[in-house]
Structure 1
Amino acid sequence: MPVVAGTYHVPVLLKESVDGLAIRPGGVYVDVTFGGGGHSREILSRLDDNGRLFSFDQDADAERNIVDAGKKFTFVRSNFRYLENWMRYYGVEQIDGLLADLGVSSHHLDDESRGFSFRFEAPLDMRMNKRSGKTAADILNNYDEARLADVIYMYGELRQSRRIAAAIVKARSNAPLITTGDLLKTAEPYVGRGREKKDMARLFQALRIEVNHEMDALREMLSAAARLLRPGGRLSVITYHSIEDRIVKNMIKSGNAEGCVEQDFFGRRLTPFRPVDGRLIVPTDEEQTVNPRSRSAKLRVAEKI
């Protein structure tokens, strides 16, 4: 029976994503998104005393969920973009599988103090790592109008990105945007009627991605995974929106985030991966009912060639 994490975060596609790793009991695995520890616990339950699991998370809050599994388990408090550096540090040359549950955790969305959700009045922070980097307020109050519009359009896919950016620049000329309420008041006139919640979620998503450099980190992590996975090793990635899913899909198809397929002299694709089963896995109706966060989830599994 799969082990489910506590209230910090309910793991999505738990059995399917870990099954996708085709775990060897004595193998070396990486969970690059530890969070509540649900996926890590399930992986550990399938390892013997010779197996090893390295779990990454840059958020100090996640450390409360660290599991006691002796030498089998190592928690790495770092952004997963540094995956290769840390594996080198621990003397690991190859891994047997890597799991990633991308996006924002339910813990972050439910934390009223960190500004990830428009549901709560909070400072516009949105940093996964509270120790460093620009906050959402820094971006909103300092990016020029064109750059703001690009962020909102690229990462939020909002057609009103230019109008929203112009409204933000106008509003901050009177007073800086400090709280989620300030942003909601400024952007509300420009979101679609009947789509307020969906469009606001996309606006907050865009800022969160920019604050945490999520797409750059994802590209770097996937490239490192392609180098670290042994032949036959598995990549199991859960995505929640089209931007990150496109990057994962392209990496599996072509070996790069842009999807540029290269071919050898005989016309064969040069890619380090082969899709497993050739199908996209989505949550069951039952899981979507129990865990609403899972409704947009997609799981892609690939094998290193």
Structure 2
Amino acid sequence: MKFEHIPVMLEECMNGLNIKMDGIYVDGTLGGAGHSSEIIKRLSQDGLLIGIDRDDDALKAASEKLKEYSNKKLVHGNHDDIKEILAELEIEKVDGILLDLGVSSYQLDERNRGFSYNSDNELDMRMDQTQPFSAYDVINTYSEKELSDIIYKYGEERYSRQIARNIVNYRKNAPIKTTKQLVDIIAKSKPSGKDGHPAKRTFQAIRIEVNNEIEPLEKTILESIKCLKNNGRLCVITFHSLEDRAVKDAFKKAEGECTCPKDIPICICHPICYGKSLTKKPIIATDDELKINSRSKSAKLRIFERKEV
């Protein structure tokens, strides 16, 4: 299947990165190279694009799309390990980093990946196909409480307990192997309503759990900021409130804001200022973009600028 992906808020990201022709830029979520192809067009031969992705299909597609450019390095890896990846490339600081979080359109559409609740596929949801842990393992091995907790925490699903209970009851007779089986269980566990597809929130929660998308995010943002040169920019696109909240909190911490609980009389977090957020409120897609790219509807862009003291 062709890896097609319309990059979200492309011009806003390019403006946010404030690209210099001879700069070093990291696309930590390379995907089909939608953003990267625009970044590298703006670089001279003295500039460098580093693309990181844990999905081999994405790397193959990006490599093909960027084949005419020699000033690039494409890496199979996770943006959570950006500091280590740069160290392996013998690069200490970069001029800009872009993170476009969440699942790609290709991953949703590709039948054998198991991300979509709109088709019947094997339960998988792994962004990195080399990892052994999949949605099948979550659904068939987690306890009822563990399932309920992650569906509520990562999916913000009010019927998480009923869904978890019915999953556990179903698998007593046979393992749950397909997305359709899971969708049917979820649909019978909650009343029909106006909240979109009944399985939307649960699928989001399982995907986040399989790929560990939220827990390391704040640390990843802070590490990324530390990897920037003076005046370097970090652009982060999120697609749901859990991601956006984590990014917003990380930016506050990076601005040197005390994060101690209000009932503690003395600061013990010892904040350090690494720069400033350029987006007190996130940037959202324009009406024109929404007409051609429905995926941008829930997207929010936040930008941070590094300032060395």
Give the TM-score, by structure 2 length: 0.90
Gaps of 5+ in 1: 1-5
Partner amino acid, structure 1, of 2:61 = R
2:155 and 2:258 mapped to 1: Cα distance?
21
Structure 1 residues 261 and 14, CA, compared in 2 at 3 Å: closer, same or farther?
A: farther
2:152 and 2:278 mapped to 1: Cα distance?
33
Is the 8 Å Cα contact of residues 58 and 128 (structure 1) preserved in structure 2? yes
Deviates more, 1:275-284 or 1:243-252: 275-284
- What does residue 8 of structure 1 align with? 4
Report deviation, 1:46.
1.1
Q: Secondary structure at the match of 1:197?
A: coil
Deviations 1:126-162 (A, max 9, x none): 0001111311011111011111111101110001111
Is the 8 Å Cα contact of residues 261 and 269 (structure 1) preserved in structure 2? no
Deviates more, 1:77-86 or 1:212-221: 212-221
Pairwise CA RMSD of aligned residues?
2.2
Q: Secondary structure at the match of 1:20?
A: helix
Q: Does 1:272 align with 2:268?
A: no
1:71 and 1:259 mapped to 2: Cα distance?
44
Report deviation, 1:174.
1.0
- What does residue 3 of structure 1 align with? none
Is the 8 Å Cα contact of residues 114 and 121 (structure 2) preserved in structure 1? yes
Report deviation, 1:70.
4.2
Describe how 1:19-58 pairs up with structure 2 within 5 A. 19-58=15-54
1:149 and 1:255 mapped to 2: Cα distance?
33
Q: Identity over aligned residues, as a percent?
A: 40
Report deviation, 1:225.
0.6
Structure 1 residues 32 and 259, CA, compared in 2 at 3 Å: closer, same or farther?
A: farther
Deviations 1:93-150 (A, max 9, x none): 1111100111111001111111101001000000001111311011111011111111
Q: How many residue pairs end up in the alignment?
A: 296
Structure 1 residues 98 and 104, CA, compared in 2 at 3 Å: closer, same or farther?
A: same
Is the 8 Å Cα contact of residues 158 and 199 (structure 1) preserved in structure 2? no
Is the 8 Å Cα contact of residues 162 and 190 (structure 2) preserved in structure 1? no
- What does residue 61 of structure 2 align with? 64
Is the 8 Å Cα contact of residues 252 and 272 (structure 1) preserved in structure 2? no
Deviations 1:181-227 (A, max 9, x none): 11011111223422363441111110000001111342342132122
Is the 8 Å Cα contact of residues 3 and 61 (structure 2) preserved in structure 1? no
Report deviation, 1:277.
5.0
1:148 and 1:94 mapped to 2: Cα distance?
40
Report deviation, 1:255.
2.7
Gaps of 5+ in 2: none
Describe how 1:122-161 pairs up with structure 2 within 5 A. 122-161=121-160
Runs of 4+ in 1 over 4 A off after TM superposition: none
1:150 and 1:250 mapped to 2: Cα distance?
22
1:64 and 1:277 mapped to 2: Cα distance?
32
Q: Secondary structure at the match of 1:181?
A: helix
